[in-house]
Amino acid sequence: ERARDYLHKTGRFIVIGGIVSPVHDSYGKTGLVSSRHRLTMCQLAVQSSDWIRVDPWECYQDTWQTTCSVLEHHRDLMKRVTGCILSNVNTPSITPVIGQPQNESSQTIYQNNNNVSNKPTAAKILGKVGESLSRICCVRPPMERFTFVDENANLGTVMRYEEIELRILLLCGSDLLESFCIPGLWNEADMEVIVGEFGIVVVPRDGADPDRIMNHSSILRKYRNNILVVKDDSNHPMSVVSSTKSRLALQHGDGHVVDYLCQPVIDYILKSQLYINTSG
């Protein structure tokens, strides 16, 4: 939610959906529980959201998938399902930015005030597209390319899905961004694709300053403009949220775990006896 709010404030984006993709069981991280449990916990965590969904594709593969391949999967899936243009951050599109007249390059595409005209706009249409995309699963529906029409629009022409430009960005904490600087940890070709073609949205975490991190990587410096660092005017609690801290809190019976997890997830963890020492 924090990342979406920031992207809207920039005036450059309209966020129509968020995807949570739990990693494959063979990722090999110490303490990683079965994907069956992780998928359930993620679904419980976002069950009240009208724009975030959990996607099991990565978990259901035969083996671990790279971050790059997961991004490419979702890009290709949405392109096949909707027929939309999915752009790369470095590839200029011939399609005008959604909601922005071709002759006014400075107009923002996200507005939230009472003075906005009631005339149907691409931004309003995109909201309906978002409702459809939020229900997309991992199997392509049996449909051909089709025309999307806003039934409330009195337009001489129709808005087609393929005229709507979509972009997929990787959302992460600055601690993951810092891992890009560890020699040999990431495939350099993958890093080029992730940062150079897709782009990254970074939520700052304690002890991991994004500006400092970017100065320590030639690839991050090269594509600095493709890295959006979430900033706001308040000390947001997201900066101290940590899955590692949550697991340790559970292991030690620390009641502060409620600061990190919603109650349905805590109930599931207790019921399934996850992350909890048997002696506790």
Q: What is the pLDDT of residues 224-275, one digit of tens each?
A: 999 999 986 555 556 667 787 888 888 888 777 777 788 999 999 989 999 8
Asked if the model's pLDDT at residue 195 lies above 70, the reply is: yes
pLDDT at 151 over 50: no
Which one of 150-159, 219-228, 235-244 scores highest in mean pLDDT?
Answer: 219-228
Secondary structure (3-state) at 160: strand
| Domain assignments of the chain as residue spans, ordered by start | 1-92+165-240
Amino acid letter for position 89: V
First to last CA, the chain: 34
Question: Which whole number is the average pLDDT over 136-150?
Answer: 37
Q: Residues with Cβ < 8 Å from 231, sequence gap 6 or more?
A: 6, 204
Question: Which pLDDT score, from 0 to 100, does residue 85 have?
Answer: 55
- The mean per-residue pLDDT over the stretch 43-71 comes to 95
pLDDT digits (tens, 9 = 90+) for 1-36: 889 999 999 988 889 899 999 999 999 888 889 999
pTM score: 0.72
Two structure tokens written together for 230:
């979430």
pLDDT at 45 over 90: yes
Q: Which amino acid is at 146?
A: F
Give tens-digit pLDDT for 60-75. Answer: 999 999 999 999 999 9
Tokens of 88: 């790369």
Mean predicted lDDT score pLDDT of the chain: 75
Question: What's the confidence (pLDDT) of residue 238?
Answer: 64
- Average pLDDT over every residue of 189-213: 90
Q: Where are the beta strands (DSSP E) in the chain?
A: 18-20, 52-54, 85-86, 165-166, 170-173, 200-203, 227-229
d(CA 1, CA 51): 10
Is pLDDT of 190 > 90?
yes
Q: How far is CA 121 from CA 5, 94, 154, 161, 257, in A?
A: 21, 19, 11, 14, 44
Whether residue 131 has pLDDT greater than 60: no
pLDDT tens digits, one per residue of 66-109? 999 999 999 988 877 776 655 555 443 333 333 333 343 433 33
CATH superfamily, region 1-92+165-240: HUPs (3.40.50.620)
Residue 116: per-residue pLDDT? 41
| SS3 labels along 79-101 | HHHHCCEECCCCCCCCCCCCCCC
Predicted pLDDT of residue 185: 93
Mean pLDDT, rounded, for 156-179:
74
pLDDT score at 118: 45
> Measured between alpha carbons, how far is 235 from 233 in angstroms, rounded to an integer?
7
